[in-house]
């Protein structure tokens, strides 16, 4: 495992703009967050029932300089004291990513600082390092967000082996679609989670898909269709839908599959450390289910605080630090890669 070779402190100024949060942070030596500033656009996109890429890009342009200055101020640092600039370059919305990448390149060029492009999903995994000083690779990580559902072996800092992935919808995407169908609105994940707390998770039995020949892959489109069919049937019969029961039953089906796959993988591959990451990692039922299953299996369970689960720049700063000390540098030709796969450069 490569380690920081010098005694000098490394300060990363990190920028994240992959979707609808404009964020900047200063991270010291990969583990200590000196500032983490997030400008959210949720209220704006709620009007449209989801993220509008063009609006997101424009808002990033408006906010990015203020957010970066606020992050430096909160950390009590100047740009001269920063070691390197880290930035998300993919995956995400292309226009949104371009704002962050262009800003990072401009700052790095003007301040004569190294530039480090960061994979957004690697950032999510790295969020676990912020609050768990004892967590070091290798370990298993379940990454669950609006766009991704991956089960990976984190072999080393920045080195991943994907052992399971979704064949269709990501878990977060299914949450958003179900939330929209029952009138809970956007963002779907937190609203389904909240409604589910008032409901009976065993009220409706929804299917849990298994992918033949790929025990750690996920499929949520059948579950989503089953929920929509249940709603349509109830509407046709003039029956009232009890939203908390539906939300709890749907969430129970999703969480059951996520927990089973992750814990089984940890046992089969021989890892006693399991982490979760991504926006859906802040889901209360997933956290509780994982805690319980890991406790029974003798696996140590790690998870970030909710603020580090959703898109933020602190996690990007952590990932950038480990890339930086391993010698990774990006050129001035760094570009946004909206469909960047995990493990790709």
343 in any annotated domain: no
pLDDT tens, N- to C-terminus, the chain (345 residues) = 444 445 799 999 999 999 888 999 999 999 999 999 999 877 777 777 778 888 889 999 999 999 999 999 999 999 999 999 999 999 999 999 999 999 999 999 999 999 999 999 999 999 999 999 999 999 999 999 878 899 999 999 999 999 999 999 889 889 999 999 999 988 888 999 999 999 999 999 999 988 889 999 999 999 999 999 999 999 999 999 999 999 999 999 999 999 999 999 999 999 999 999 998 999 999 999 999 999 999 999 999 999 999 999 999 999 999 999 999 999 999 999 999 988 777
pLDDT of 1: 44
Asked if residue 279 and residue 188 are part of one domain, the reply reads yes
Asked if residue 122 and residue 147 are part of one domain, the reply reads no
Determine the 3-state secondary structure of 38 from DSSP.
strand
Domains of the chain: total: 2
Asked if residue 300 and residue 171 are part of one domain, the reply reads yes
Asked if residue 86 and residue 183 are part of one domain, the reply reads no
Contact 278, 303 (CB under 8 A): no
Residue 8 is given by DSSP the state: S
How far apart (Å, rounded) are the C-alpha atoms in residues 317 and 27?
Answer: 6
CATH number of the domain to which 297 belongs: 3.30.420.40
pLDDT of 45: 76
Bind-site residues: 120, 124, 143-147, 176, 189, 193, 283, 311
How far apart (Å, rounded) are the C-alpha atoms in residues 171 and 7?
Answer: 42
Asked if residue 315 and residue 289 are part of one domain, the reply reads no
Asked if residue 149 and residue 57 are part of one domain, the reply reads no
Cα angle, residue 132 at apex, residues 131 and 133 outer, rounded to 5° = 110
For the chain, the C-alpha Rg in angstroms (whole number) is: 20
pLDDT of 6: 53
Asked if residue 178 and residue 111 are part of one domain, the reply reads no
pLDDT of 75: 98
219's CB contacts (< 8 A; 6+ apart) are 166, 167, 168, 169, 209, 211
4 in any annotated domain: no
Asked if residue 187 and residue 74 are part of one domain, the reply reads no
How far apart (Å, rounded) are the C-alpha atoms in residues 243 and 200?
Answer: 10
Bind-site residues for Fe cation: 120, 124, 311
201 in any annotated domain: yes
Bind-site residues for substrate: 143-147, 176, 189, 193, 283
Write out the residue range of the structural domain in which residue 199 sits: 136-304
217 in any annotated domain: yes
86 in any annotated domain: yes
257 in any annotated domain: yes
pLDDT of 185: 87
């Amino acid at each position: 495992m490569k380690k920081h070779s010098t005694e000098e402190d490394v300060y990363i100024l990190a920028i994240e703009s992959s979707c609808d949060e404009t964020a900047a942070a200063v991270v010291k030596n990969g583990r200590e967050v000196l500032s983490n500033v997030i400008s959210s656009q949720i209220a704006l996109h709620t009007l449209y029932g989801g993220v509008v890429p063009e609006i997101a890009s424009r808002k990033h342009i408006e906010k990015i300089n203020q957010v970066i200055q606020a992050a430096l101020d909160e950390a009590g640092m100047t740009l001269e004291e920063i070691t390197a600039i880290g930035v998300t370059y993919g995956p995400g919305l292309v226009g949104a990513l371009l704002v962050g990448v262009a800003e990072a390149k401009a700052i790095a060029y003007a301040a004569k600082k190294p530039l480090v492009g960061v994979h957004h999903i690697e950032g999510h995994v790295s969020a676990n390092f912020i609050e768990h000083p004892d967590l070091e690779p290798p370990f298993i990580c379940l990454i669950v967000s609006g766009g991704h559902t991956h089960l990976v072996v984190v072999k080393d800092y920045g080195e991943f082996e994907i052992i399971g992935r979704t064949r269709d919808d990501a878990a977060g995407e299914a949450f958003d679609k179900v939330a929209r169908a029952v009138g809970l609105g956007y963002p779907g994940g937190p609203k389904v989670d909240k409604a589910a707390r008032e409901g009976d998770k065993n009220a409706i039995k929804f299917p849990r898909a298994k992918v033949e020949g790929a025990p750690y892959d996920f499929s949520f489109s059948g579950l989503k269709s089953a929920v929509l069919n249940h709603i349509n049937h109830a509407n046709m019969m003039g029956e009232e839908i009890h939203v908390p029961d539906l939300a709890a039953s749907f969430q129970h089906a999703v969480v059951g599959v996520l927990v089973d796959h992750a814990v089984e993988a940890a046992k089969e591959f021989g890892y006693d450390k399991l982490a979760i990451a991504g926006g859906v990692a802040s889901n209360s039922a997933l956290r509780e289910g994982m805690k319980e299953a890991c406790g029974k299996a003798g696996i140590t369970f790690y998870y970030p605080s909710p603020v580090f689960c959703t898109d933020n720049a602190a996690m990007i700063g952590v990932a950038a630090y480990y890339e930086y000390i391993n010698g990774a540098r990006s050129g001035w030709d760094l570009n946004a890669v909206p469909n960047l796969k995990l493990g790709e450069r």
